[in-house]
Amino acid sequence: MIKLIAFDLDGTLTQHKTPLEPANYEALLALSKKYKLLMAGAGACMRIFNQLGGFPIDIIGNYGLQFGQYNPDTKTLDIVENNILPCDRESVESRVTMCREKYGFTEYAGDNVQYHESGCVTFPIIGTEAKIEDKLAFDPDRSKRRAIYGEICEIFSDYNVFVGGSSSFDMAPRPFNKYYALKKYCENNGIALDEVAFVGDDYGPGGNDESVYLSEIRFVKVDDYRTFPEVMKAEGLL
């Protein structure tokens, strides 16, 4: 018996960083009448909340470093947990530079590394200021990054590494990932993992939903966000 449904956002409920479509908003409303709903995201809680158009839902952000609880009185999100972990920037900078030289990624626009307030890090292969068309064209099927993913994980063994966006590696300090965050949420709220379903699209090697996909939690695949309501119906959840 499912009690909690957790969701990825980009690619699952919306196109990347775009507002929630009306059909998916209505599907979430219908699901909220039957289950507790939760977002489990890679980005910050308020960014996710705003992208959802203020949908009333609790949000795990930054792979579990941040947690936002929906406040029905104010109709906004209260950030009740916000971990900011230290980052050894000199070490990260050195390792990213080494990777650039090893794999031939020495030409890039903008910064060598993008540092996030939470302690998460992005290795932007073609740089932080690269043109959007260049980012989209760099590695659309992720084959370039997946070819070296195992080595990047070894080099950054103190991070959980994800094949992010179209041209980067995203990194969260260990042990933070979506599975770790979701398990912690369930423990804190008395929910068994066999009472949880997770809905996501990024479950392939290096995907930020992969940790949940490989776990004991029921995983619902959404390969096209426009089919979200149909997938949930087919799974018997809507």
97, 159: one domain: yes
Residue that is last in its domain, among 173, 192, 226: 173
56, 18: one domain: yes
142, 25: one domain: no
Output the average pLDDT for the chain: 97
34, 69: one domain: yes
Structural tokens at position 148? 């070296």
CATH number assigned to the domain comprising residue 26: 3.40.50.1000
Residue that is last in its domain, among 150, 173, 196: 173
137, 22: one domain: no
Find the domain containing 205 and state its range: 4-82+176-234
Residue ranges of the alpha helices (H) in the chain?
Answer: 22-32, 45-51, 89-103, 132-138, 143-155, 178-189, 210-213, 228-234
How many structural domains comprise the chain? 2
Query: Which residues in 62-71 are b (16+ Cβ under 10 Å) and which e?
Result: bbbbbbbebe
What percent of the chain shows pLDDT beyond 90?
A: 97
What's the average model confidence in pLDDT over 211-224?
98
96, 67: one domain: no
152-193 pLDDT, tens per residue? 999 999 999 999 888 999 999 999 999 999 999 999 999 999
124, 167: one domain: yes
pLDDT at 11 over 90: yes
93, 169: one domain: yes
50, 97: one domain: no
